[in-house]
Amino acid sequence: MKGKKIVLGVTGGIAAYKAPLIVRLLKAQGADVRCVMTHNACEFVTALTLQTVSKNKVYTETFEKQGEWNPEHIALSDWGDIMLVAPATANCIGKYAAGVADDLLTTTLLAFGGKIVFAPAMNDKMYNNPIVQRNIRVLKDCGVEFIEPIVGELACGAVGQGKMEEPEKIVERIKNIL
């Protein structure tokens, strides 16, 4: 993984608190990591935390008034070797499957030419909802790789499939894909 450039998308699920650990594990393997957060992800983990562990600027805004001359979503999508979305909410999966690009993360996903990997995390009923499953199938058919959520205790207290795979296992999968 040494020298590989990884764009980590973070969405607004409770498992976002594990995103800094994913960044640390990727960096420990020698990767360079840039994070893109949805606005809802910022409710769960701060940009400052991800900036500090990644040692890079964290991207949240589609319309930056100042900064690089080229749009961030193109700059980021051109930069990355691989894009990982962890955790991936039902909302983000659905938007990407429908081709919606209404924030920096989904716009970057649509502009990204390399391998995209999603690590979903959500309530088990959400995960098993036929609409969510259909969206996952649509993305798989388009070549998106999924790291299946595991069975465990969920944030709502229920036990079922929806818990994001452990950060160590996610990083292992990224290493194998690369």
Ligand X SMILES: Cc1cc2nc3c(=O)[nH]c(=O)nc-3n(C[C@H](O)[C@H](O)[C@H](O)COP(=O)(O)O)c2cc1C
Closest approach of ligand X to the CB of residue 89, in Å: 3
Tell me the C-alpha distance between 86 and 1, whole Å: 18
User: In this complex, which beta carbon is closest to ligand X, that of residue 33 or of residue 164?
Assistant: 164
Are 120 and 96 in contact by the 8 Å Cβ rule? The answer is: no
Q: Look at the alpha carbons of 24, 83, 94, 47 in this order and tell me if their dihedral is positive or negative.
A: positive
Q: Contact positions toward ligand X, by CB under 6 A?
A: 11-15, 38, 40-41, 89-92, 121-122, 126, 155
Q: Which is nearer to ligand X, 13 or 167 (CB)?
A: 13
Nearer to ligand X, 125 or 169 (CB): 125
Which residues are annotated as catalytic? 156
User: Smallest distance, Å, CB 116 to ligand X?
Assistant: 15
Query: Which is closer to ligand X, CB of 155 or CB of 178?
Result: 155
Residue 43 C-beta: closest distance to ligand X, Å: 7
Cβ atoms of residues 162 and 154 within 8 Å: yes
First and final C-alpha spacing in the chain: 7
CB of 60 to ligand X, least distance (A): 11
